[in-house]
Amino acid sequence: MKKRFFNFRMLLWLMLVIALIMGGGYLVIAYSYNLQKETEGRIDAVRHSVNVAKEMEVELVRLRGFTFTYLVDKSPQWLDSIKTREIRFIILLERARMSAGTPEEMSLIQQISGLFANYEQSMIQASKKLKHYQVSQANALIVYAARDLLGTIHDKSRNFIAFNIKAEESYELDLAKANKIILRTMISLGFGGILAGLIMGWIISRLVLNPINQLILQVRGASGGTLLEKLEVPDQGDLEELGDRIKSMINKMNVTQQALEKNKELLQYSNKYAVLGKVAPTVAHEIRNPLAAIKMLIYSMKEQNDIPESIRPDLNIISSEIDRMEGFIKNFLKFSRQADPVLIHINPVDVLQEVLQLLMPRIKKNEIALYNRTIGSTQLVAADPGQLKQLFMNLIINALEVIPQGGSLIFDAALHEAHVGKENHKATTFLMVRIEDSGPGIPEKVMKHLFEPFIKGSDQGVGLGLSISQNIANMHNGWIEALNKPQGSGAVFKVFIPVAENI
């Protein structure tokens, strides 16, 4: 066998080298990006310092003008204006001091601060001399403050501005260099990525796609294909075909699993019903005979004239309870000895309409809003009308028992496809009748055993209605599902019966 020049180990090493190169490139970009951001911050700080210095320069010009004006006009308003400009200049000087970032800048700010302090002292001394009528000496001090001190401060401010402008130009050069590094690195990574992609694609096509082709041939056979498919090269691509084949297998496995779960559930119900069918007659016989004797005795006692009137209500209660127990035994026997359905082609919507007509007085009494969306459905099923009527009757009565005054009851019908039975490659079409109520919903502890005998979702009845209904649906090759609506706003029951064409 010819040894391959490339193998998976070399592929891994090549991928590692490419990853290191790409990682190094991205580190260079990250460093340059941080340097760019830092430089932009410095440029903003320098521009802020320049703006503050320019504002200081403007205030100096104004202050110098007011000072020369005060030399001619010694009125108090000019002195107040000078004080206001001095305060404004001191504020700007402090802002410049805070934005200064180098020792040279701090030295210039300290020099300006010292000169301005001398200016303030000169103006104070001039004001004192004016009060003592020493006008010539006061004028000399004012001229010195306006011409010499403020002039020197103005020169220092210009130096401060020039220094920051020079620093800004230097930072802009650094920023341009960082941008150039980022651009070159990104271009290199781009071309390198294209080249690495071409090399990796060629290697992967040699090392990976050939085994995938063999796997496709095996998967085809497992998913129902034939060996003749080896001769065909699909247009859609190997990986895409492999994905489609695997999805097809997974879907079939999921469908099979769902069918097995459904058949397992139906088998459990059948086993329980079989056991009850054997036990029920004996239990009913052992209970019904003593009840009949007790009932006859109670009837005889009620017919006697010498019985005190005080015990007649008790006898009536006993008689009523006996009747209730007989009704329970009757339903129990009906549940355990469910007759085989006599199937004919009928429209379940017609049966549902009959049940709603029978229960309409109770619906109106409770002021329940009825929304029947099944009207107009013409789909036929093979079913026993009497048993189907009993199924709908049980479900609707259960709903009416829990719906509050002024609630709602919604009916709907639609076709539904499902895979059942062993031969599940072809879906079976069912008619789904949906019954939705606005009651409190089904408790979680009841939901798992809802269709088992003697499980009650409410305080009324003995818990056989839903079991009988599920048994009827099973005998029609269908089933019933139950679920709660969101936020406990009611329950939904779905009845599935195969349509007539599938029988």
Structure tokens at 401: 């028992």
Q: What is the pLDDT of residues 78-108, one digit of tens each?
A: 778 888 888 888 888 888 888 777 788 788 8
pLDDT-derived band at 239 (thresholds 50, 70, 90) equals low
Q: So what's the pLDDT on residue 437?
A: 93
Q: So what's the pLDDT on residue 360?
A: 92
Q: 3-state secondary structure string, 262-291?
A: HHHHHHHHHHHHHHHHHHHHHHHHHHHHHH
Phi first, then psi: give them for residue 369, nearest 5 degrees.
-80, 125
| Closest C-alpha to 383, from 285, 273, 477, 485 | 477
Rounded-to-integer distance, Cα 187 and Cα 471, Å: 73
DSSP secondary structure code for residue 232 in this structure? -
Q: So what's the pLDDT on residue 38?
A: 77
**pLDDT(433) > 90:** yes
Q: What is the pLDDT of residues 331-387, one digit of tens each?
A: 666 655 566 788 899 999 999 999 999 899 999 999 999 999 998 888 999 999 989
| Closest C-alpha to 480, from 491, 469, 488, 489 | 469
Structure tokens at 145: 């403050």
> Rounded to 10 degrees, what is the CA torsion of 420, 424, 426, 428?
0
> Rounded to 10 degrees, what is the CA torsion of 454, 457, 460, 463?
-20
Task: For tokens 């998967």, name the residue.
Answer: 219
Is 443 within 8 Å of 429 (Cβ atoms)? no
What is the mean predicted confidence (pLDDT) over 455-465? 58
DSSP secondary structure code for residue 433 in this structure? E
pTM score of the predicted model? 0.41
Domains of the chain: residue spans and CATH? 8-204 (1.20.120.1730), 340-502 (3.30.565.10)
Phi first, then psi: give them for residue 302, nearest 5 degrees.
-70, -25
* Residue 23 identity (one-letter amino acid): G
Q: What is the pLDDT of residues 247-299, one digit of tens each?
A: 777 777 766 666 666 666 666 655 555 555 556 666 665 676 677 777 777 77
Neighbouring CB atoms inside 10 A of 223's CB total 16
Average model confidence (pLDDT) across the chain: 77
